[in-house]
């Protein structure tokens, strides 16, 4: 089948029949719902960009698995160049959509499974790697989008999965059959699950003694029977639904909770089942890959924030204000630092036993800690440069009102040569970039909590070599 066009991608999503709810109502037409369509368009941009001649070399490559051209979003990295391309593709896409494109998590899962399933097979003589490879071939041949089902709802976080009063607080196997398994539980914060063809599930944490039922990884279609998508609220969701006062008129982000209500999974789609000691390796590799993805994505979003600030400085007549230029420079250096960290983590990547490549985890996590702090600062700087109307610009309906519209346009005017409509649209974009909760919260918690990033850095750092270096310089001998 080969690479999909954007139009083919959207029609393939239309052909799915997922069970979805939003605002207490069943949603039967996913593709034409204004709020969900904006998210589907963001994922669709990954297909659209791959169609453009100037992007072909970056977005499309040849898979060594099927020896055909494939999207990089379906290619686990087989060398350092692939790791680097991941970062560049994410920045290019984020610069195009100005929000989350929702496709990176699926690739992060594919990249993780390409390593860990091989390692499980090596120890237990299982067939997970073979199953995964067949699944991956289909993902590549049909140019499918996958969603990463990682974050369990967790219940009482002081308790292990098997210690929970309600045993379904972590996704678990409730039945093993000759033809497959039945799973139950829920995954939260599932960005773009309705924009995806497949849901790939991996554990959310390390699993200990008694947690074997929770050490499970598998893939199911996004419209699998028993799988329920409940779309979460976002700060600007009603504007998207009614089509008014939207800043980014093309793209958005939505995050459902996924409920697995006794979902059946055939054995050929099961990639781990009970091998508890590999749960930690799976989640560490996924989270590190995802933290690398974020650095490319968020640097691309800051590019949009910089452009928004510069345009409003032009429209407001403040383009020559030196202190505002300094704020823009501060935004730019934050974007480039994020980008550089993730490129460095790629260039320091190493080949794994399966043949797939894995990034440097310390550098990827350093990037994510930086993002958690500095995206908030970049947002503050953008708002500072843009001005107060980021927060409380009147509604588009007020501008269209025959009684007060002309007065509003008169008093919302900035530089005389710039139509007031352009200024209003740019302020709407600034508000969206700053206040779209589904995206801005992920700057802090996407890919795990800030504490998880710190713990990973300390665990993965060669502490002893640093101590030895200091002792040598101090003349201390053990």
Q: Which residue has the tokens 């998210």?
A: 39
Q: Is the pLDDT of residue 447 over 70?
A: no
Domain pair 6-276 / 282-462, same fold: no
pLDDT tens digits, one per residue of 298-329: 999 999 999 999 999 999 999 999 999 999 99
Three-class secondary structure of residue 63 per DSSP:
coil
Q: Is the pLDDT of residue 443 over 70?
A: no
| Pick from 95-99, 205-209, 248-252: least confident | 248-252
Which residues does 261 contact at the CB level (< 8 Å), separation at least 6? Answer: 184, 226, 227, 228
User: Does domain 6-276 match CATH 2.40.110.10?
Assistant: yes
pLDDT tens digits, one per residue of 51-81: 999 999 999 999 999 999 999 999 999 999 9
pLDDT (0 to 100) of residue 445: 65
pLDDT tens digits, one per residue of 93-108: 999 999 999 999 999 9
* For residues 215-219, average pLDDT: 98
Closest CA to 423 of 409, 434, 436, 433: 409
pLDDT tens digits, one per residue of 385-420: 999 899 899 999 999 999 999 999 999 999 999 999
Q: Are 371 and 440 in contact (CB under 8 A)?
A: no
Average pLDDT of the chain, as a whole number: 94
Q: Are 92 and 48 in contact (CB under 8 A)?
A: no
- pTM above threshold 0.85: yes
Please provide the DSSP assignment of 421-452 as one string. HHHHHHHHHHHHHHH-HHHHTHHHHTTS-HHH
pLDDT band at 335 (very low <50, low <70, confident <90, very high): very high
Q: Is the pLDDT of residue 145 over 90?
A: yes
pLDDT (0 to 100) of residue 345: 95
Q: Where are the domains of the chain?
A: 6-276, 282-462
User: Does domain 282-462 match CATH 1.20.140.10?
Assistant: yes
């Amino acid at each position: 089948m080969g690479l999909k066009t954007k139009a083919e991608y959207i029609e393939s999503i239309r052909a799915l029949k997922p069970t979805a709810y939003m605002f207490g109502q069943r949603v039967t037409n996913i593709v034409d719902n204004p709020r969900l369509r904006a998210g589907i368009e963001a994922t669709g941009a990954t297909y659209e960009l791959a169609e453009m001649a100037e992007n072909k070399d970056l977005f499309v490559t040849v898979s060594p698995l099927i020896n055909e051209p494939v999207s990089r979003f379906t290619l686990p990295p087989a060398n350092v160049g692939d790791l680097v391309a991941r970062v560049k593709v994410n920045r290019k896409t984020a610069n195009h959509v100005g929000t989350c494109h929702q496709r990176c998590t699926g690739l992060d899962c594919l990249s993780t499974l390409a390593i860990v399933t091989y390692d499980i097979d090596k120890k237990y003589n299982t067939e997970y790697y073979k199953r995964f490879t067949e699944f991956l071939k289909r993902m590549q041949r049909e140019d499918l989008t996958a969603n990463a089902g990682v974050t369990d709802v967790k219940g009482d976080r002081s308790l292990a999965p098997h210690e929970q009063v309600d045993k379904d607080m972590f996704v678990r196997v409730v039945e093993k059959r000759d033809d497959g398994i039945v799973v139950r539980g829920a995954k939260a914060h599932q960005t773009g699950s309705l924009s995806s063809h497949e849901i790939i599930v991996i554990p959310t944490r390390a699993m200990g003694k008694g947690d074997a039922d929770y050490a499970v990884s598998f893939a199911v279609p996004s419209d699998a029977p028993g799988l329920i998508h409940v779309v979460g609220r976002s700060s600007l969701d009603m504007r998207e639904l009614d089509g008014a006062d939207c800043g980014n008129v093309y793209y958005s982000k939505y995050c459902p909770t996924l409920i697995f209500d006794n979902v059946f999974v055939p054995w050929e789609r099961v990639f781990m089942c009970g091998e508890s000691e590999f749960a930690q390796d799976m989640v560490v590799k996924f989270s590190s890959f995802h933290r690398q993805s974020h650095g490319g994505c968020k640097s691309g979003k800051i590019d949009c924030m910089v452009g928004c600030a510069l345009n409003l400085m032009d429209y407001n007549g403040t383009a020559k204000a030196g202190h505002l230029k300094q704020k823009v420079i501060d935004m730019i250096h934050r974007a480039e630092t994020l980008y550089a960290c993730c490129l460095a983590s790629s260039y320091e990547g190493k080949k794994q036993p399966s043949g797939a490549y894995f990034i440097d985890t310390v550098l990827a996590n350093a990037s994510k800690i930086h993002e958690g702090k500095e995206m908030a600062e970049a947002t503050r700087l953008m708002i500072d440069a843009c001005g107060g109307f980021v927060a409380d610009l009147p509604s588009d309906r007020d501008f269209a009102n025959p009684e007060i519209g002309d007065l509003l346009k008169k008093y919302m005017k900035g530089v005389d040569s710039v139509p007031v409509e352009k200024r209003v649209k740019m302020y709407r974009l600034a508000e969206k970039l700053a206040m779209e909760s589904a995206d801005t919260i992920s700057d802090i918690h996407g890919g795990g909590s800030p504490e998880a990033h710190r713990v990973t850095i300390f665990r993965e750092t060669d502490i002893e070599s640093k101590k030895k270096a200091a002792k040598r310089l101090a003349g201390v001998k053990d």
